[in-house]
Amino acid sequence: MSASFLPSRAPRSASGWIPGERLANRVAVPEPRPDAPRIGVLALQGDVLEHLRALRRCGADAVAVRDAAQLAAVDGLILPGGESTTIGKLLVRFGLLEPLQRRIAQHLPVFGTCAGMILLSDELDQDTPQPLVGGLHVRTRRNAFGRQLDSFDTRIEVAGIDGGPLDVAFIRAPRIEAILAEDVEVWARVEGHPVVVRQGHLLAAAFHPEVTGDDRLHARFVAEVRAGLQAGGAAPDGTATVRPPLHTAGPELT
């Protein structure tokens, strides 16, 4: 997926804002510094490249994750938007579902967006079962804002994000129907339903923050991964996480 789904002649709003215009104006992403946290993007299907670029703009060493060795080598992970049924089936097929569930149980910071939020949910509001990663104590309804044609760009206030409303895209977006545990914080709502939630090391957003060029949620996630590393890593027993080196080359991001 790329920013090209945005209408090329999007009408200017009264404020002069055109959805996605900041992304279109972006130039090459910077090289990560040697001390950058290594953050993966699950790269089985969906909106991978845009997340890698956004992470890189926020100072992370962004890498694609397609197997268990790559998963073991990251300090944090984004589950991208795309199609949750497809990503879930591929997680099973590539033997990644259980390793991912184990790393989440060991407090790996994970940020799920759109389909990624669906995958992180403990429960779905649907009869048909589909593979879920789980861990986030919410019940989520897929496609709650309508079909592809009902997709929209908007700006929403998000708790924990300074500097005014966040510029985001809702694309066949889910929403949270029920919060199932007290430690789930709601950071934003649309039409009364939670669309950004945070539960300890898990962050989830119903929309796509990576296609607009407004990187503040990514920056917040990168900052939290960095802070966790400085505090001694993500191991549940308090010992520092030792991550193996990553030998695979990442995709070209410029």
Question: Where along the sequence are the contacts to ligand GLN (CB under 6 A)?
Answer: 81-84, 114-115, 118, 142-143, 171-172
CA distances from 201 to 109, 133, 159, 218 (A): 5, 15, 16, 14
Q: Smallest distance, Å, CB 119 to ligand GLN?
A: 8
Q: Smallest distance, Å, CB 86 to ligand GLN?
A: 8
Cβ contact 184:197 at 8 Å = yes
114 is catalytic: yes
Point out the catalytic residue in the list 58, 137, 210, 224: 210
Q: Smallest distance, Å, CB 1 to ligand GLN?
A: 8
Q: Smallest distance, Å, CB 211 to ligand GLN?
A: 10
Q: What gap in Å lies between CA 63 and CA 51, rounded to an integer? A: 10
Q: Smallest distance, Å, CB 35 to ligand GLN?
A: 32
Point out the catalytic residue in the list 51, 193, 201, 208: 208
Burial of 136 (0-12, 13-18, 19+ CB in 10 A): buried
Q: Considering beta carbons, is residue 170 or 221 the nearer one to ligand GLN? A: 170
Q: Considering beta carbons, is residue 96 or 234 the nearer one to ligand GLN? A: 96
Point out the catalytic residue in the list 51, 58, 114, 224: 114
Q: Considering beta carbons, is residue 138 or 234 the nearer one to ligand GLN? A: 138
Q: Considering beta carbons, is residue 46 or 76 the nearer one to ligand GLN? A: 46
Q: What gap in Å lies between CA 226 and CA 221, rounded to an integer? A: 9
Q: Considering beta carbons, is residue 38 or 172 the nearer one to ligand GLN? A: 172
208 is catalytic: yes
What amino acid is encoded at 132 in this protein?
L
58 is catalytic: no
Catalytically active residues, by annotation: 114, 208, 210
